[in-house]
């Protein structure tokens, strides 16, 4: 029989499926967690979900939120749905299970939580409930006039609404609302870290996993460029830029796909994936998602004191370097216009000493050499260190020093049969452990990489990563016990800078990349005016 669950909004009918190891599980797809963000609710914080009569079919994949693609705009504006996968529904005989909430990445611009991309097949071999969700993206999710009329952060507040839904309803699906772990990769990891920093997310989750993305990443916050971009959008769509009330009224009359499509006008360097619209600091108003900069919140120790598991992949920077190395004109631009190219792709504003800062970065990675199509590892390292490694290290160090939580750091070096590197624009070179590759061992990747067969070693890595991640969700520790699969104890971060290298073998190490860390420490202090 089809599984049935009754929640506050009505009755849902789901379906059965099986995991990688043959365990029978139950899924409910396309559950609305907020009212449709359309009409008067476009550019508003999400409202509670509507109820329905009868039984709602929860077996079809939900539409994704509006987003650009190579074939035009995909998805629809009415997109605030989540999915629940569980080994068992609520019963009186067994305790409720830890909940893992996956927040997808995609640069705040593309992506979806749907089960085609993030099925439960690997994680639900363990005793957890998995929730995946959509949130508003791009202009519709993150446009901001940096005022109280158009504050921005709509996509972030959608995620908070989904967490409220989980808090209120997950018990019915066999989940424990008092044991919720957020996890995400890339901009998804950044989103998770924002919830650690946000006052309105507090109490809705209890642990956080940030994979290749933190709130200190240069792409994470767009407060300084938000207003200019909103002015530009107004002129592109023929709306008055001021006052903001008139702008919003005008934008609500426009076709949603047309609004979403204008994002292409905001690329700084054609063909390089940069995030035009991202979370912003809300300086005034009520229900503020981010009341101060991430750095200030971390330094004041105002972040949620939850255990955090955080790390990067050894060649995370491939997501930018491939689109450069794969295009001869980009390589020349980077070589000839290095300062502008680097300041733009790092989202650093022009300010005093920017020429010497750019020269210091260039000398560190390239010495006196020209940048050419042989500079694969140098360009990759530059973006790995600046986008991912240094911000991860910085935030982990600040949180561990606060003394009120444990932080576990990993460095993922495993290279399996499959890699996301074929997606990012250069099929000629090998990029090693590329951006997003760790996801291949948490979720099956057939939708994105259809032709890949994972080998025996890959299946072992699925066992390892899902064990570490679900252990952390259950206990707040990734290794509560050692085993033949996980033969080492992964210790929390101390002043020794200890971390776990996750490769063919698991190895305990200390002092991750001291030289890049000291370079970027001074560069970020300059960029963020942080003395």
Same-domain status, 287 and 337: no
Same-domain status, 447 and 523: yes
Q: Which of 281, 306, 331 is the last residue of a domain?
A: 306
Does 225 sit behind a cis peptide bond, omega within 30 degrees of 0 on the bond before it?
A: no
461, 441 contact by CB (below 8 A) = yes
pLDDT of residue 55: 98
Domain count, the chain: 2
pLDDT of residue 481: 84
Same-domain status, 301 and 319: no
197, 303 contact by CB (below 8 A) = yes
Same-domain status, 334 and 254: no
Q: How far apart are CA 523 and CA 450, in angstroms?
A: 41
pLDDT of residue 531: 44
197, 203 contact by CB (below 8 A) = no
Same-domain status, 264 and 369: no
Q: How far apart are CA 301 and CA 510, in angstroms?
A: 25
Residue 531 neighbours by CB distance under 10 Å: 4
Write the pLDDT tens digit of every residue in 428-455. Answer: 888 999 999 999 999 998 878 888 888 9
316, 212 contact by CB (below 8 A) = yes
Q: How far apart are CA 192 and CA 195, in angstroms?
A: 5
- CATH of residue 33's domain is 3.40.50.1820
pLDDT of residue 423: 86
Same-domain status, 335 and 297: no
93: Cβ–Cβ under 8 A, 6 or more apart, which residues? none
Write the pLDDT tens digit of every residue in 132-166. Answer: 999 999 999 999 999 999 999 999 999 999 999 99
Q: How far apart are CA 177 and CA 214, in angstroms?
A: 25
Q: Which of 257, 275, 306 is the last residue of a domain?
A: 306
Helix, strand, coil content of the chain in percent (nearest 5): 35, 15, 45
pLDDT of residue 496: 87
- Domain for residue 408, yes or no? no
- Domain for residue 276, yes or no? yes
Nearest to 207 by CA among 150, 168, 163: 163
Same-domain status, 66 and 197: yes
Stated pTM of the model? 0.98
3-state secondary structure of 257: helix
pLDDT of residue 428: 86
What backbone torsions phi and psi does residue 123 show, to the nearest 5 degrees? -65, -30
How would you class 352 by CB atoms within 10 Å of its CB: exposed for 0-12, middle for 13-18, buried for 19 or more?
A: exposed
Under DSSP, the state recorded for 385 is: I
pLDDT of residue 530: 60
For the chain (531 residues), the mean pLDDT of every run of 10, in chain order, is 97 98 98 99 98 98 96 97 97 94 98 97 98 99 97 99 99 98 99 99 99 97 94 98 97 98 91 91 95 97 98 97 94 97 94 96 98 96 98 97 95 94 86 96 87 91 98 96 92 94 97 94 89 44
Any idea which residue has 């099929």 for tokens? 427
Same-domain status, 276 and 293: yes
Q: What is the DSSP string of 214-233?
A: -TTSTTS--HHHHHHHHHHH
Nearest to 166 by CA among 157, 178, 183: 178
165, 134 contact by CB (below 8 A) = no
Same-domain status, 253 and 319: no
Write the pLDDT tens digit of every residue in 422-432. Answer: 888 888 888 99
Same-domain status, 23 and 148: yes
292, 301 contact by CB (below 8 A) = no
Q: Which of 306, 328, 346 is the last residue of a domain?
A: 306
Nearest to 181 by CA among 171, 199, 197, 195: 195
Same-domain status, 278 and 364: no
Same-domain status, 296 and 325: no
- Token pair recorded at residue 402: 């606060």
- Identify the domain containing residue 270 by its residue range: 4-306
Nearest to 126 by CA among 406, 506, 505, 466: 466
């Amino acid at each position: 029989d089809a599984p049935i669950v009754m929640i506050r909004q009505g009755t849902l009918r789901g379906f059965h499926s099986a995991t990688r190891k043959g365990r029978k599980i139950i899924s409910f797809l396309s559950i609305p967690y907020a009212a449709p963000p359309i009409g008067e609710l476009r550019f508003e914080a999400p409202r509670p979900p509507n109820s329905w009569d009868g039984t709602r079919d929860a077996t079809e994949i939900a539409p994704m939120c509006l987003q650009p693609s190579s074939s035009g705009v995909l998805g629809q504006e009415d997109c605030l749905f989540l999915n629940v996968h569980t080994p068992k529904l609520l019963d009186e005989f067994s305790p409720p299970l830890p909940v893992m909430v996956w927040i997808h990445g995609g640069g705040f611009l593309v992506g979806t939580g749907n089960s085609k991309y993030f099925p439960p097949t690997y994680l639900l071999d363990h005793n957890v409930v998995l929730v995946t969700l959509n949130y508003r993206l791009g202009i519709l999710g993150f446009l901001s006039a940096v005022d109280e009329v158009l504050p921005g952060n709509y996509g972030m507040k959608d995620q908070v609404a989904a967490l409220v839904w989980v808090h209120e309803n997950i018990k019915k699906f066999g989940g424990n609302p008092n044991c919720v772990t957020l996890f995400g990769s890339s901009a998804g990891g950044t989103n998770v870290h924002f919830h650690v920093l946000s006052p309105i997310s507090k109490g809705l989750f209890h642990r956080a996993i940030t994979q290749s993305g933190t709130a200190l990443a240069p792409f994470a916050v767009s407060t300084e460029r938000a207003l200019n971009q909103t002015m530009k959008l107004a002129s592109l769509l023929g709306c008055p830029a001021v006052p903001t009330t008139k702008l919003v009224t005008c934008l609500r009359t426009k076709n949603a796909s047309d609004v979403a499509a204008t994002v292409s006008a905001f690329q700084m360097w054609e063909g390089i994936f940069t995030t035009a619209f991202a979370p912003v600091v809300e300086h005034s108003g009520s229900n503020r998602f981010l009341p101060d900069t991430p750095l200030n919140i971390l330094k004041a120790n105002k972040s949620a004191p939850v255990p955090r598991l955080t790390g990067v992949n050894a060649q995370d920077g491939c997501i930018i370097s491939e689109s450069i190395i794969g295009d001869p004109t980009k390589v020349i631009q980077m070589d000839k216009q290095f300062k502008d190219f680097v300041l733009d792709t790092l989202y650093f504003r022009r300010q005093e000493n920017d020429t010497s800062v750019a020269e210091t970065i260039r000398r560190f990675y390239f010495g006196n050499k020209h940048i050419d199509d042989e500079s694969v590892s140098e360009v990759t390292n530059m973006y790995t260190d600046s986008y991912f490694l240094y911000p991860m290290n910085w935030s982990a160090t600040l949180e561990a020093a606060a003394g009120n939580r444990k932080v576990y750091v990993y460095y993922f070096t495993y290279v399996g049969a499959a890699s996301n590197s074929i997606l990012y624009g250069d099929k000629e070179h090998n990029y090693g452990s590329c951006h997003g590759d760790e996801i291949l061992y948490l979720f099956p990747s057939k939708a994105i990489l259809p032709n890949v067969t994972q080998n025996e070693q890959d299946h072992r890595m699925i066992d390892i990563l899902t064990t570490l991640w679900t252990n952390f969700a259950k206990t707040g520790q990734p290794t509560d016990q050692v085993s033949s699969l996980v033969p080492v104890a992964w210790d929390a971060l101390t002043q020794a800078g200890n971390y776990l290298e996750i490769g063919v073998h698991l190895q305990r190490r200390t002092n991750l990349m001291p030289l890049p860390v000291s370079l970027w420490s001074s560069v970020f202090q300059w960029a963020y005016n942080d003395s």
